[in-house]
Amino acid sequence: MIKKTFKRGMVIALTAAMMTTSVSGVFTGMTAKVFASESARQIAASVKTKTETEIPKADMLDIIFNGGKVEDRLNGKNELKTYGAPVITQDEQLGKEVAVFDGQDDGFGYLLTSEDWKAMGSHYSFECMVKERNEDVQNKFGTSLLGGSSNRDGGLFYFKAGGPTFTGLKAGKYTRDLTYKCEKEKWLHLVGTYDGKALKFYVNGEKQGEFCAAEFTMGAVTTEQYLNIAHQVGGMGNSAACKIASARAYSKTLSPEAIKSLYQQEDKTNITVPADASFIVAKGDNYVVPKAEVTTATGTIPEITTAVKDPNGNDVMLDENRQFTATEQGEYKVFYTANGITLEKSLRVTGEPSIAAQIELAVGDQKTLQIQNLDQDAKVMYTSADPETAAIDEKGIIQAKKTGETTIDVTVEQAGHTYLLKNKVVVTNQAEQIFTVTFKDYDGKVLDTQEVKYEEGAKAPEAPIRTGYTFTGWDKTFGKITSDITITAQYQKNPDPVRPTDPAKKPNSQQTAVRPSISVTKKQILSGKKFRLSVRRLIKGAKVSYKTSNRKIASVDKNGSVKGLKAGRATIITTVREGGKTYNFKTSVTVKGYMKLIKVKKTIKKGKTYKFKAKAYGIKGKLTWSVSSKKIGKIAKSGKFKAKKKGKVYVTVKCGKYKAKVRVSVK
């Protein structure tokens, strides 16, 4: 071993740090994911770091290279001194910028305070990512990767014949070497530590050697001391012919676990699967999980493990051939893990596609044929047995052309299977089409709604009653219906009636006794809604009372206000007493129940949850919830919806034969 005595003022040597591998050198908590190349960015979308040990942060020196400049991630804590003309350039292997030193006089120096040197004392660590260049450096005696100048004690990284070396300094002299022999032009992650008892040397996360010594403790200094990168200790004008990606110094002894984590963060690990690997399988089939390959910047070949979870998050056991049976439809997850990095792939397990057995269309109509359990990458082909009756295009849109029947054949290729599906199309003429006829009163209230076939006639409801008016008919004819139509009642205003003031007197030719009448004889309302009854042509002093035949179905107050309570029918009896006579009028009330969504959100982000709420009016029973697509979202019995995949889905709530639904967009 070559020994050299240095001038007063050096302390310690750190290493030139090899450039970060899969990360940019910027750590956020325990995870770093900044990739340089486009291919790396694509991987980053599905790669996660899984390091159980917290990544330590350097407190004495933390140097990377970015934007063609030296970047001090301790916010300029240490003053920079440049030796020669180091070049900062992009390294394709690492995908980030590194510093290149010529082996002559290039280097960087950082001024540390007396307190900094004292803080490192008997517990310090140095880390770097470095690659030795092919240039001959054997004659460059003592070319250091990271060091200073002093007759002091401490630890130092430097290059010697054979490879990078971690050595102990005693009074500025090299006393003991730990050398890692390797090929040049190869990135290495170096860590040297001292715990007051022994110097230890780690390469690529693995300990290479150690020796016990109690004399390498550093103390406070009284003069300016530089911690140099790639520059000859003592400023002798020599530098290490190398490339450096990062350099760090710590005022503590790093644990083997922490060192392993630092290496995993620095070594750019890429996990790939063959481009032709299939990640789709049919439910019930046996599936062989594709093998993955892993590469690292340092050239090491870490162990790679494979794990699979089913759509419910449960672990799936693989046999010795990496095979399992896909028993559940949905999205499985395949995890490939190496060097603390995990590549996640989605495995789609499809169900058997299906279509409706029969579709009925009227001539001129069109409809899209819906295929259930159709995979996004499926190939579909449509064929009509009789295109003149009903044709179908490449998008699955059926066009009804003439009356008759035909068969639509659908061929689906997905998940390695070919399915042949058949649909019967019945084309009818327009006469079999159904139209809606709505009868309304003068004020827009619906009197009756009917469904009528093409060119058939509607049936007029009972003539409505309007106080002070006489019903004269309807504004449109409805004997031959060819489309949806609304028909409105027409009236003529009545002359003011003359009522007798003295019942004992007979009415004369100018006086006519008019019988009172009720405003509504038949009414249909929703549960919870109200309408009001009134009596027309009352004389002064007349008394009116109201009574319901079923208080559970509909109620009525003393003012004639009727309220629907429960689905069913009831009769409201109106009694009028006037002029010594009693009149009874009946109003038939039909109360209809209904469902209503009372808490609704139409747009929900993927992965989020939302609790829908609904209320049943006029009906009793258990509320049941459902969704139109379980791939897009799922809903619990309580109405709590979880958005799983981007798309549109209908959320439906039912109570008996009644239901309500809303379309939800998952973004």
Q: pLDDT band at residue 222, thresholds of 50, 70 and 90?
A: low
For tokens 């517990």, the residue is: 123
Lowest mean pLDDT among 36-50, 111-125, 147-161: 36-50
> Residue 305 has what pLDDT?
93
pLDDT band at 18 (very low <50, low <70, confident <90, very high): very low
Mean pLDDT, rounded, for 42-62? 61
Q: What is the pLDDT of residue 67?
A: 92
Indicate whether 637 pLDDT > 70.
yes
Percent of the chain topping pLDDT 90 = 49
Residue type at 352? Answer: E
Candidate ranges 29-38, 308-317, 478-487; pick with highest mean pLDDT: 308-317
Q: Note the pLDDT of residue 9.
A: 24
Average pLDDT over residues 83-93: 90
Q: 307 with 335: CB under 8 angstroms?
A: yes
Partnered with residue 483 across adjacent β-strands are: none
Quick one: which of 168, 252, 257 has its CA closest to 213? Answer: 168
Q: How far is CA 39 from the centre of its chain?
A: 23
CA dist 54 → 160, 169, 206, 313 (Å): 33, 31, 18, 26
d(CA 572, CA 560): 9
Greater model confidence, 506 or 621: 621
In sequence order, the 6+-apart residues with CB closer than 8 A to the CB of 343 are 43, 46, 47, 271, 272, 273, 292, 335, 336, 337
Range 604-616 burial, b when 16+ CB lie within 10 A, else e: beeeeebebebeb
DSSP assignment letter at 55: P
Tell me the whole-structure pTM to 2 decimals: 0.48
How far apart are the C-alpha atoms of 267 and 408, rounded to whole Å?
58
Tell me what pLDDT residue 612 has.
94
**Chain centre distance of CA 634:** 14
Q: How far apart are CA 443 and CA 526, in angstroms?
A: 18
Tell me which of 73-77, 418-422, 442-446 is least confident: 73-77
Q: Alpha-carbon distance 370 to 73, whole Å? A: 58
- Across the chain, mean pLDDT equals 81
**Residue 2: other Cβ atoms inside 10 A:** 9
* Residue 480, both tokens: 């031959």
Q: Which range among 1-15, 458-472, 491-505, 528-542 shows the weakest confidence by mean pLDDT? A: 1-15
Supply the pLDDT for residue 34: 25
DSSP collapsed to 3 states, 335-372: EEEECCEEEEEEEEEECCCECCCEEEEECCCEEECCCE
Question: Tokens in use for 268?
Answer: 């750019």
Query: For 478-499, how does the pLDDT look when each residue is reduced to its tens digit (9 = 90+)?
Result: 999 888 899 999 999 887 655 5
Residue 161, pLDDT score = 54
Percent of the chain with pLDDT over 70: 80
Smallest CA-to-CA distance from 305 within 500, 50, 104 is with 50
Residue ranges of the alpha helices (H) in 25-113? 38-44
Residue 310, pLDDT > 70, answer yes
So what's the pLDDT on residue 497?
Answer: 53
Residue 453 has pLDDT above 90, yes or no: no
What pLDDT shows up at residue 156?
64
Residue 601 confidence (pLDDT) above 70: yes
Question: Which tens digit of pLDDT belongs to each residue from 159-216?
Answer: 555 567 776 666 555 566 677 777 677 888 999 898 988 888 899 889 988 888 777 7
Higher pLDDT, 83 or 33: 83
pLDDT of residue 187: 87
**Tens digit of pLDDT for each residue in 411-441?**
999 999 999 999 999 998 765 677 899 999 9
User: Per-residue pLDDT averaged across 374-384, rounded?
Assistant: 94
**Band (389; pLDDT cuts 50, 70, 90):** very high
Neighbours of 593 (CB within 10 A): 21
> For residue 16, what pLDDT is reported?
29
Mapped onto helix, strand or coil, the DSSP state of residue 42 is helix
- The model's pLDDT over 258-291, given as tens digits with 9 standing for 90+, comes to 998 898 888 878 899 999 999 999 999 999 999 9
Going by their DSSP bridges, the two strands 485-493 and 469-474 should be labelled as: antiparallel
| Residue-wise burial string across 379-414, b where 16 or more C-beta atoms lie within 10 A, e elsewhere | ebebebebeebbbbeeebebbbbeeeebebebebeb
Q: What are phi and psi of 233, to 5 degrees?
A: -60, 130
Judging by DSSP bridges, how do beta strands 543-548 and 568-578 pair with one another? antiparallel
Alpha helices per DSSP H over 187-324: 256-266
6 burial class (0-12, 13-18, 19+ CB within 10 angstroms)?
buried
Paired tokens of 517: 């009448």
